């Protein structure tokens, strides 16, 4: 076992059943993610990357296998234990931001802290720090509808890191953004990794986004087919004809 | 002690309500300790309700209207329940004709009945100057050509000085008003033609204090009396009533009998009820024995029952109506309220599946989601219920002068102070019932399912 690893996945299997049909999404997957590593999960639709992300983040339970994050084995935890664990240890970034539209940017970021035993003063300090980190100190009282897509995603990132989690998971964080905003968000993730030493696991279809990570895992049909350093990953757009087979 | 303090102490005079008050105090304390987070939660609940103001507004208006109706229905039931609940001390008993409604006894009965019919040494004797009262009913019209709502008057013929001592509802008057009524009653003793009328009745017949009227009776045929209105009862259960000196009626009957060859048909039937105030249940049982065993009251026979029992007997005629109000109308309205809230909250939860999933991802526990959704329904229910009961209380009591639902001897029902918490309780209860299933659905939302659908 790598002493630097924060995520350890052993022989992970996940299947769903539809009637009598058994659909295997992940098959005997084993991997490790180091502390402070920026990892990209790639693969075609249905390859199981989002399922893997959900399992690592404690949003779902595996059919078989073990998942350890930090010093905890989360694969055996109950829903309530997982919820409490997520509050402290995992930050989430979504493709469509998923901010609460009735709350301001400040309140959206404050939301996870309400579940922690913090005073109002402590909460305020952490919220302001997180929003400052993402460059939105001047948009505290704006509602999501008053922010651009890129700004909303930055609020989403501030919400993900405000409770200072060990692990940040991002599901297609640039999938709904224009290329300029996407670049800014990726840059922000790199800053998070470098300055705060956060472990980031990002699901993406975008090779340019994956190229900003340190390591890329490529999944196909629920199996890990490539595990390569991002530096050795060369992005070549598929020819148009390829789309038509 | 002020009326509010009195109402508050009465409110606490029940284990359930006392428990609720203690629970509220604990919750309040918890609120203060975790003020910041609680404030945020409450704000979130409030903001969620502002997402669709039309829907929230319509739900609140519907709840408001339904609480209004329930408050009216419960007011009547509450009051009737109050007057039909047996007391163990200082209660009143009614003596009436045993086998006939309306009760019609010879006036000659009144002397012995007013004392409880003591026959032997050791029998209990009621102090008739203080603890007994007779009622004779005199109905008349001020327009002999017709008998309409705008022309009829109904009088309780009694000893005027017993009015404030024996009649119910004196707590509805201020001490100054009681003093004024006593003054009018003294005037009625001096001049038997003088009467007091309720304000609504005066308004209905379009007459004022000081006016003299000639009455044509419809129950005491040919006993037509001239009266002078000396006073108007302040706002109370006596809004539709009139009080007359019994001697005026009895003198008129005597005069009729002297002039006519045949006695008036009601001569031996002019006493309708005798009221006795008794200190405790064993005394009531003794007086009951005295009256029932007395040979003086055989033709017609009489019976004595507690006031509560008497009113209950009288209300028997309305049994089906009251049963329907209590067990069909009120529950149906409450169920409708719960259903309206359930529909509104269900739609709201369905619209927010993603948000709820995100909150679960962040770490919100199912029970926190449950409280959040329940909180929305309870807030709408409590606010609209409270507003409705407050509005009903002041609108009905101060503007309309009570609910005009003539039943038994009660022409009008005033909304009781207790109704101020009914609305809140109904709102919270129906909100809770209506949102239970939607909130359970919300806390069972599976995050992975929601996000797999999105992706």
ipTM at complex level = 0.85
| Residue in the structure block whose two tokens are 């108007």 | B232
Sort out which chain B residues have CB atoms less than 8 A from A100's CB and list them.
44, 355, 358-359
Q: What is the pLDDT of residue B6?
A: 58
Q: What is the pLDDT of residue B36?
A: 57
Whole-prediction pTM value? 0.67
Please indicate, yes or no, whether residues B210 and B332 belong to a single structural domain of this protein.
no
Q: What is the pLDDT of residue A59?
A: 87
Please indicate, yes or no, whether residues B241 and B147 belong to a single structural domain of this protein.
yes
B36 to A123: CB separation less than 8 angstroms, yes or no: yes
A153 interfaces chain B, CB cutoff of 8 Å: no
A126 interfaces chain B, CB cutoff of 8 Å: no
B36 interfaces chain A, CB cutoff of 8 Å: yes
Domain assignment present for residue B313? The answer is no
Sheet holding A223-229, edge to edge: A90-93, A167-171, A199-203, A38-42, A215-220, A223-229
Give the integer Cα–Cα distance in Å for B403 and B237.
10
A108 interfaces chain B, CB cutoff of 8 Å: no
B40 to A95: CB separation less than 8 angstroms, yes or no: no
Give the integer Cα–Cα distance in Å for B353 and B452.
13
Q: What is the pLDDT of residue B158?
A: 93
SS3 B190: helix
Sort out which chain B residues have CB atoms less than 8 A from A115's CB and list them.
362-364, 368
- For B321-354, write each residue's pLDDT tens digit: 888 888 899 899 999 989 999 999 999 889 888 8
Please indicate, yes or no, whether residues B119 and B253 belong to a single structural domain of this protein.
yes
Domain assignment present for residue B2? The answer is no
Give the integer Cα–Cα distance in Å for B256 and B253.
5
Please indicate, yes or no, whether residues B396 and B444 belong to a single structural domain of this protein.
yes
Question: How close does chain B come to A125, measured CA to CA in Å?
Answer: 14
Tokens encoding A164: 């200072």
Question: How close does chain B come to A120, measured CA to CA in Å?
Answer: 6
Pick the last residue of a domain from B300, B329, B345: B300
Task: Collect all residues with Cβ–Cβ distance below 8 Å to B397 and sequence separation of at least 6.
Answer: B414, B415
Domain assignment present for residue B1? The answer is no
Sort out which chain A residues have CB atoms less than 8 A from B355's CB and list them.
98, 100
Please indicate, yes or no, whether residues B331 and B216 belong to a single structural domain of this protein.
no
Q: What is the pLDDT of residue B371?
A: 86
CB-nearest to A87 from B43, B362, B447 is B362
Please indicate, yes or no, whether residues B267 and B326 belong to a single structural domain of this protein.
no
Give the integer Cα–Cα distance in Å for A49 and A202.
9
Decide: residue A166, CB within 10 A, 0-12 exposed, 13-18 middle, 19+ buried: middle
Interface A-B: count of C-beta contacts within 8 A:
75
A106 interfaces chain B, CB cutoff of 8 Å: no
Domain assignment present for residue B29? The answer is no
CB-nearest to A59 from B50, B361, B455 is B361
Give backbone dihedrals phi and psi of B274, rounded to 5 degrees, phi first. -125, 130
The domain in which residue B412 lies consists of 34-84+319-454
Q: What is the pLDDT of residue B170?
A: 84
**pLDDT tens track of chain A, all 245 residues?**
677 789 999 999 998 888 888 888 899 999 999 999 999 999 988 888 889 999 999 988 899 999 999 889 998 898 888 888 998 899 999 888 889 988 999 999 999 998 888 888 899 999 999 999 999 999 999 999 999 999 999 999 999 999 999 899 999 898 888 888 888 899 989 988 888 889 999 999 888 889 889 999 999 988 988 888 877 766 554 444 444 32
Residue stretches of chain B with pLDDT short of 70: 1-18, 26, 28-37, 86-90, 406-411, 452-455
Please indicate, yes or no, whether residues B112 and B212 belong to a single structural domain of this protein.
yes
Contact criterion met (CB below 8 Å) for B137 and B217: no
Please indicate, yes or no, whether residues B147 and B60 belong to a single structural domain of this protein.
no
Please indicate, yes or no, whether residues B105 and B170 belong to a single structural domain of this protein.
yes
Please indicate, yes or no, whether residues B271 and B339 belong to a single structural domain of this protein.
no
Among candidate residues B160, B102, B172, B145, the one with its CA nearest the CA of residue B409: B102
Question: How close does chain B come to A211, measured CA to CA in Å?
Answer: 22
Domain assignment present for residue B376? The answer is yes
In chain B, the number of structural domains is 2
Pick the last residue of a domain from B239, B265, B300: B300
Domain assignment present for residue B211? The answer is yes
Q: What is the pLDDT of residue A245?
A: 29
Domain assignment present for residue B13? The answer is no
What b/e sequence results for B167-178 when a residue is b if at least 16 CB atoms lie within 10 Å of its CB, and e otherwise?
beeeeebeeebb
Please indicate, yes or no, whether residues B212 and B324 belong to a single structural domain of this protein.
no
Give the integer Cα–Cα distance in Å for B367 and B40.
17
> What sign does the dihedral A147-A149-A154-A158 (CA atoms) show?
positive
A98 interfaces chain B, CB cutoff of 8 Å: yes
Query: What DSSP element (H or E) covers A90?
Result: strand A90-93
Overall residue count recorded for chain B in this entry: 455
Please indicate, yes or no, whether residues B259 and B358 belong to a single structural domain of this protein.
no
Pick the last residue of a domain from B300, B329, B349: B300
User: What does the DSSP 8-state code read for residue B271?
Assistant: B
Domain assignment present for residue B90? The answer is no
Sheet holding A72-73, edge to edge: A21-34, A5-18, A64-69, A72-73
DSSP β-bridge partners for residue B226: B214
Domains of chain A by start residue, with CATH:
5-232 (3.40.50.300)
């Amino acid at each position: 076992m790598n002493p630097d690893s924060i995520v350890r996945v052993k022989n992970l299997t996940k299947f769903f059943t539809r009637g009598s049909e058994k659909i295997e999404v992940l098959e005997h997957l084993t991997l490790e993610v180091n502390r402070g590593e920026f990892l990209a999960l790639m693969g075609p639709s249905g390859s199981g990357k989002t399922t893997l992300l959900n399992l690592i983040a404690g949003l779902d339970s595996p059919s078989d296998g073990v998942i350890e994050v930090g010093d905890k084995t989360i694969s055996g935890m109950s829903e309530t234990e997982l919820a409490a664990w997520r509050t402290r240890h995992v930050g989430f970034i979504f493709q469509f931001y998923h901010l609460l539209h009735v709350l301001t940017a400040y309140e959206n970021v404050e939301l996870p802290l309400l579940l922690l035993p913090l005073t109002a003063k402590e909460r305020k300090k952490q919220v302001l720090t997180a929003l400052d980190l993402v460059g939105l100190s001047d948009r505290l009282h704006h509602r999501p509808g008053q922010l651009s897509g890129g700004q909303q995603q930055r609020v989403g990132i501030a919400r993900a890191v405000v409770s200072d989690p060990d692990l940040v998971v991002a599901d297609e964080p640039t999938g709904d953004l224009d290329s300029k905003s996407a670049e800014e968000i990726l840059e922000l993730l790199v800053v998070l990794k470098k300055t705060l030493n956060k472990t980031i696991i990002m699901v993406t279809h975008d090779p340019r986004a994956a190229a900003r990570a340190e390591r890329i895992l490529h999944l196909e049909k629920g199996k890990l087919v490539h595990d390569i350093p991002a530096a050795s990953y060369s992005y070549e757009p598929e020819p148009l004809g390829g789309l038509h087979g | 002690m002020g009326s509010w303090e009195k109402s508050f102490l009465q409110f606490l005079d029940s284990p359930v309500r006392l428990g609720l008050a203690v629970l509220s105090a604990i919750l309040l304390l918890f609120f203060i300790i975790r003020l910041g987070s609680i404030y945020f939660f409450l704000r979130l609940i409030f903001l969620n309700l502002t997402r669709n103001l039309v829907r929230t507004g319509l739900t609140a208006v519907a709840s408001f209207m339904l609480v209004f109706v329930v408050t009216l229905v419960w007011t009547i039931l509450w009051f009737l329940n109050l007057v039909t609940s047996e007391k163990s001390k200082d209660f009143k008993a009614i003596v009436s004709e045993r086998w006939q409604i309306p009760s019609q006894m010879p006036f000659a009965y009144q002397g012995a009945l007013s004392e409880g019919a003591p026959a032997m040494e050791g029998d209990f004797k009621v102090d008739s100057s203080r603890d007994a009262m007779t009622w004779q009913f005199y109905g008349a019209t001020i327009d002999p050509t017709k008998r309409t709502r705008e022309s009829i008057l109904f009088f309780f013929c009694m000893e005027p000085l017993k009015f404030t001592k024996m009649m119910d509802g004196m707590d509805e008057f201020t001490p100054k008003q009681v003093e004024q009524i006593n003054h009018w009653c003294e005037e009625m003793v001096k001049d038997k033609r003088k009467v007091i009328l309720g304000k609504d009745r005066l308004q209905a017949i379009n007459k004022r204090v000081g006016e003299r009227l000639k009455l044509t009776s419809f129950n005491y045929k040919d006993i037509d009396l001239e009266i002078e209105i000396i006073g108007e009862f302040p706002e109370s259960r006596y809004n539709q009533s009139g009080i007359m000196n019994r001697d005026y009626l009895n003198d008129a009957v005597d005069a009729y009998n002297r002039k006519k060859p045949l006695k008036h048909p009601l001569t031996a039937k002019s006493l309708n009820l005798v009221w006795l105030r008794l200190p405790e249940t064993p005394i009531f049982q003794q007086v009951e024995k005295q009256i029932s065993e007395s040979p003086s009251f055989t033709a017609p026979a009489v019976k004595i029952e507690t006031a509560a029992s008497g009113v209950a007997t009288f209300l028997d005629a309305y049994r089906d109506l009251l049963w329907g109000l209590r067990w069909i109308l009120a529950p149906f309205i409450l169920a409708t309220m719960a259903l309206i809230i359930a529909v509104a909250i269900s739609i709201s939860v369905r619209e927010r599946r993603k948000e709820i999933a995100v909150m679960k991802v962040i770490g919100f526990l199912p029970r926190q989601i449950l409280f959040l959704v329940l909180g929305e329904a309870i807030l709408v229910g409590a606010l609209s219920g409270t507003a409705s009961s407050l509005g009903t209380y002041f609108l009905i009591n101060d503007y309309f002068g009570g609910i005009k639902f003539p039943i038994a001897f009660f022409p009008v029902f005033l909304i009781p102070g207790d109704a101020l918490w009914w609305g809140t309780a109904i709102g919270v209860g129906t909100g809770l019932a209506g949102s239970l299933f939607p909130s359970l659905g919300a806390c069972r939302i599976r995050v992975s399912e929601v996000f797999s659908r999105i992706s």
